[in-house]
Amino acid sequence: MESRKIQKVGAATFTISLPKEWVSRRNLKKGDQLFLLEDGESLRLLLSPSTEGRTRESMEFLIDADLCEEPGMLERVIVGNYVLGRERIVIRASARLRSDHQDEMRNAIRRLMGIGIIEETASRVVLQCSINPAHYPLDALIKRLYNLGYTMLTESLEALVTGDAALAADALKREDDADMMYWLILRLVLSAQLDEALLEPLGMRSRLEIPGYRIICQDLEAVADHGSDIAKHVQELLALGVDLPTPLLKSIRALAETIGQLYGKALGALLSRDLKQANEAIRLSRTLEKKEQDIGRIVLKEIDDPKVVIPVRGLVNNLIHIGEYARSIAVIAYNRYLEKPTNLCRPVGAA
């Protein structure tokens, strides 16, 4: 810990000097703008978005590919660097980059928005990511991730009812897009956690919203994963060539429609800060258990073949999990509404 004396400049201005090492590490220059933020009894010093961006661009992070011995390890390290907001990533090997490492690197790039190769030799690859947070408001990205998961769900169920295997295949193709949105949202949220000057460009009102956004994007990505699993179960059923009993199809479709309403109301409540929608979503979530039990009874009564029972149960379980994640989003919508005083809930004595 270093100490600094307060200096008086002129009649009413007080200054303190900044540590040279701190300035150099952040690549600051004369005339750069900094922000002061009161945090209780502390005073925090924040970089401006442009200065923070220049600081990130000036830093390279080196990945030693020779140490990535396990399958998939290099890909996960690249994704981790991306999520942490790093702009320039160098991948280096002592000899040629192995073929499997090149495949992992290109697979990571395919799943990450805004990153590409800018330099490449046999033993060294430089990746550059240039994303301006001001161009990616979080609520728009959240809507996109929601729409991907919901479309996967509706396409899969329509494929089951109509017997159209192409629809289930289309649903599976959307999983990569959902992963891309998830990693981008997580990158932006973690960047805002490190740099509060990014809160406003990303559409956040305060740091209090950061944990909620992290949970929301994880929940929405999990919904897309369950949508992918549902599509796979539908493909299994269609490959078996069985005609599911009409009562079972109707019950599954009714369950999916209820979950779709719950999911839509939960996200609508989150984005509009509407407690009525959040409450309706939570109320709908309480009806799912009975619908699941009704489907279980129909399966026991109408289906004897275990090859059919297993994918049906898997499909229903994934639907129920989507409902649980939607309920979690509705609860976060409640918390977000209560972050600031309102007529509904305010400090005692407030007008």
Look at residue 340 in the predicted model and tell me its pLDDT: 76
CA torsion angle 139 140 144 149 (round to 10): 10
Question: Who contacts 57 (Cβ-Cβ below 8 Å, separation ≥6)?
Answer: 87, 88
- Assign 137 to helix, strand or coil: coil
3-state secondary structure of 60: strand
- Tell me the CA distances in angstroms from 112 to 62, 78, 82, 171, 346, one per residue in order: 18, 10, 8, 20, 42
Supply angle C-alpha 251, 253, 259, rounded to 5: 105
For strand 13-15 and strand 7-9, is the pairing parallel, antiparallel, or unpaired?
A: antiparallel
* Residue 349 tokens, joined: 């004595």
How many CB atoms neighbour CB 75 within 10 A? 20
More confident residue, 60 or 237: 237
pLDDT above 70 covers a percentage of the chain that reads 94
* Residue entry with tokens 């407030």: 350
Runs of H (alpha helix) within 241-305: 246-272, 275-285, 288-302
Domain boundaries, the chain: 19-52, 59-129, 136-337
- CA quadruple 242, 247, 253, 258: dihedral positive or negative? negative
pLDDT in tens, 1-22: 677 888 877 777 888 888 887 7
* Edge-to-edge strands, sheet with 88-92: 60-64, 88-92, 124-129, 115-120
CA distances from 220 to 183, 212, 278 (A): 12, 12, 16
Counted residue by residue, the chain has a size of 351
Architecture of domain 136-337: Up-down Bundle (1.20)
Domains 59-129 and 136-337 share a fold: no
Please state the rounded mean pLDDT for residues 259-269. 93
Can you give the C-alpha Rg of the chain in angstroms? Answer: 25
The whole-number pLDDT of residue 343 equals 82
303-350 pLDDT, tens digit per residue, is 989 999 999 999 999 999 999 999 999 999 888 887 777 788 878 866
Which phi and psi (to 5°) does residue 125 adopt?
-130, 135
Say if CB 279 and CB 342 are below 8 A apart: no
**CATH architecture under which domain 59-129 falls:** 2-Layer Sandwich (3.30)
Does residue 58 register a pLDDT over 60?
A: no
Q: Averaged over 36-41, what is the pLDDT? A: 68
pLDDT of residue 94 exceeding 90, the answer is yes
Q: Which two tokens stand for residue 280?
A: 């309706």
CB 275 within 8 Å of CB 338: no
- Provide the token pair at 161: 């009812």
Contact 75, 110 (CB under 8 A): no
> What average pLDDT does the chain have?
89
Average pLDDT over residues 91-114: 95
pTM for the full predicted model: 0.80
Consecutive H or E run containing 320? helix 306-337
pLDDT band, very low/low/confident/very high, at 227 (cuts 50, 70, 90): very high
CA distance 234 to 151: 15
pLDDT, position 71: 94
